[in-house]
Structure 1
Amino acid sequence: MTQKHNAVKIQQQVVARAASDGDGVKLLRVFGGNNLQRFDPFLMLDEFGSEQASDYIGGFPSHPHRGFETVTYMLQGKMEHRDHIGNVGLLEDGGVQWMTAGKGIIHSEMPKQTEGKMHGFQLWVNLPAKRKLVPAAYQDTPADKLPWQQFAGFSVKAIAGETSINDNKINGYFTIADTEVVYLDIHLAPGQTISIPKSEQLNAMLYSYQGAIHVGEAGSINKEKTLGLLSGAGNLTISNNSNDTVKFLFIAGKPLQEPIAQYGPFVMNTPEEVEQAIMDFRNDVLTD
C-alpha cells in the first residue's frame, strides 16, 4: 500500500517582535527565548539589522553558553568573535560563524564598525543529550566559501544541508549529522516560482525578511519579518507575485524529541543540569 502524506501547509505564522539583547543591541526575535515557543531542533532565531550605530555598537560582551550551537550569518557588516579558547574571528558580509558551545564556551561578539549598516541572523540549534557536553568548537567561514549559486529566476546561499530546488541539487557548506539541518538564504525574482521537497521527518520553516511570498496551496506569508512553520510533506511551491525580488530563509531540521530545560544561555535536558551549568559558571569551571 502506498503511504499517503499530508500536503505541505503553513501550520502557524509568527511575526518577529522587537527585542534587545547583549549591551542594548536592538533586534527582532523571530521565535525563541525562555518562555516562548521553540521549533525542535531550533531554539531561537534573531534578526539584527540597523543603519544606526547606536542600535548595535554595544555588541555582545563576554558571556557563556552550554548545551547547543549558534549559527551567525552576516548579510552586511563586521563583527569580531573572541572566546576563552583563544579563537579570534572576523565575521563579514556573507560569512557564517558556526559555534558549538558543548560543555561550555565564554565568548564575545563585538562590532568592528562605528557606522554603516549591520544586518544578519543568529540561529540557535539544540544539541542531543549525548553531545551536550562535547568540547566547545568554533568555525569562521568567509563568504568566498559560501558563494551565491545562480539559477534561472533565483539565487541561493546554501549554508547547511542537502536538498534540491527546481530539481537543481543544492549542497550546503556545513553537514550536521544529529539534526540534519538545512539552512538556505533564497532570493526569488519577480514572477518566479520554485519547488523544494519537504520531508515528513524534518521540521521546516520559512522566514521572509524582505517581501511577501505565496506558498502554493499552503497559503501566503503576506508580510515581511514573518515566519511560517510548515507541516506535512511533499513539494513546497514558493512564488513571488510582486514586482521586486523577495528574500527569505528556508530552515529545516530533524527534531530531537528530548526534554528541554533552559535558563538564558544554558540549554540542557533537566533543571538539575541547568543548575549545574549555573554553578559551574559561577565557580569558573564551566569550560573545564
Structure 2
Amino acid sequence: MTTRTVARIIPAQVTSDGAGVKLKRSLGSSNAARHDPFLMLDEFFSDEPSDYLAGFPSHPHRGFETVTYMLEGHMLHEDHLGNKGHLKDGGVQWMTAGRGVIHSEMPQQEKGRMRGFQLWINLPAKEKMRPASYQDISADNIPRLKLSEHSEAILIAGRCEINTLAATGFINGSDGQHLSTDPIYIDLRLHAGESANIKLPATHNTLVYVYEGSAAIGDSDIASNNSALLSNGDTLQIGSETGSRLLILAAQPIGEPIVQYGPFVMNTSDEIEQALRDYRDGVLASA
C-alpha cells in the first residue's frame, strides 16, 4: 500500500468566462496547470446577480468532456442536438463534446446564490471525433455514502472504496456509458475532527480541490480555493480539524500531446485549424 502525498498546490485565480461570469480557476489557469486528463476546473460562487446573470451564451466545443456540478442555483443547458436540461441544486450535467457540440448554459434565476463547478476532462485522440452526447442527472439520482453522523461522500462518478465501504458513483461505465479515462468524481464533506481513507486505482492521476474549510493530506494542509495535485499511490488519507468540503478527482492519464485554442482541445495545431474551419463553415457539429 502506497499513500498519496501532495506534490503541488495550484491556487485558484479570479477570472471570468462566458459573457462575463465571475469565477475562480485552478486547473487551466495556464498550460502548465493541468493534471492529465483534467484540463480545467472552475468554481463559480456568488450571491450577486451581476456576477452570473449574463451566463454562457451559445458557444462550441470539440475534443473533450465537460462536467457541470451545481451546488446551488438553476442553469438551463440547450444544445444543437436538441438536448435541454435544467441544472438545479445538487445536479450534474455530463457532456461529451467529441466531434463538436454547440450549446448554451444560461441562469434561470434573477437573484440568489449561484454556486458550482465545471470540470473539463480530455479525450484520447481516437475519441476526439466521436459523436457528441449529453446526460442530465438530478440530485436525487446521485448516490450518497454516509461516513458518520455528520460526514458523507457524494458519488458523482467512478468506483472506489471509502473507509472500507464500496463506493460507486452514478456515472460508472455501466449501461453503455463510454468512459475511457475511468473518471472518479467525489464531493467529500468531512465534519471537524473526522477523516476519510480512500482507495483509488494506482494507475490514476488524482487531485483534490478544497472549496470550504481546510484539509490535511499527510504533512500538507490545503486551504480553501486550492487544488492539490497528488503523488502516485493507491490510498488517499484526508483529515480536517476544522471541517472541510472538497472535490476528489481521479482518472487514467492519456499521455498524448495537447493543443488548445479556447473551446477546442486537440492533439495538433492542424487539428485546431480544422476545428476553426469547421466552425466557420457550420459543420463543426455535423455527424
Q: Deviations over 1:133-168 (max 9, x none)?
A: 111111111111014332215211100000011001
Q: Deviations over 1:172-191 (max 9, x none)?
A: 11025310100000100111
State the one-letter code of the partner of 1:124: W
Q: Which residue of 1 aligns with 2:16?
A: 20
Q: Which residue of 1 aligns with 2:206?
A: 204
- Aligned to 1:110, which of 106, 112, 121? 106
For residues 82 and 280 of structure 1, the distance between their equivalents in structure 2, rounded to whole angstroms, comes to: 21
Query: Which structure 2 residue ranges, 5 or more long, are not aligned?
Result: 174-178
Q: Deviations over 1:89-145 (max 9, x none)?
A: 100000000001011100000000000000000000001111111111111111110
For residues 143 and 165 of structure 2, the distance between their equivalents in structure 1, rounded to whole angstroms, comes to: 16
State the one-letter code of the partner of 1:185: D
Percent of paired sites with the same residue: 48
Matches for 1:151-230 after TM superposition, within 5 Å? 151-152=147-148, 153-176=150-173, 177-215=179-217, 217-221=218-222, 223-230=223-230
Q: Do the aligned partners of 1:163 and 1:169 also contact (CA within 8 Å) in 2? A: yes
State the one-letter code of the partner of 2:220: G
TM-score by length of 1: 0.94
> What displacement does 1:37 show?
2.0
Query: Which structure 1 residue ranges, 5 or more long, are not aligned?
Result: none
> What displacement does 1:38 show?
1.3
204-213 or 228-237, larger mean C-alpha shift: 228-237
TM-score by length of 2: 0.94
Matches for 1:77-156 after TM superposition, within 5 Å? 77-152=73-148, 153-156=150-153
Matches for 1:192-271 after TM superposition, within 5 Å? 192-215=194-217, 217-221=218-222, 223-242=223-242, 245-271=243-269
State the one-letter code of the partner of 1:224: S
For residues 106 and 234 of structure 2, the distance between their equivalents in structure 1, rounded to whole angstroms, comes to: 42
Q: Which residue of 1 aligns with 2:176?
A: none
Q: Do the aligned partners of 2:13 and 2:29 also contact (CA within 8 Å) in 1? A: no
Kindly tell me: are residues 146 and 198 of structure 1, through their superposed partners in 2, closer, same or farther at Cα, counting changes over 3 Å? closer
255-264 or 32-41, larger mean C-alpha shift: 32-41
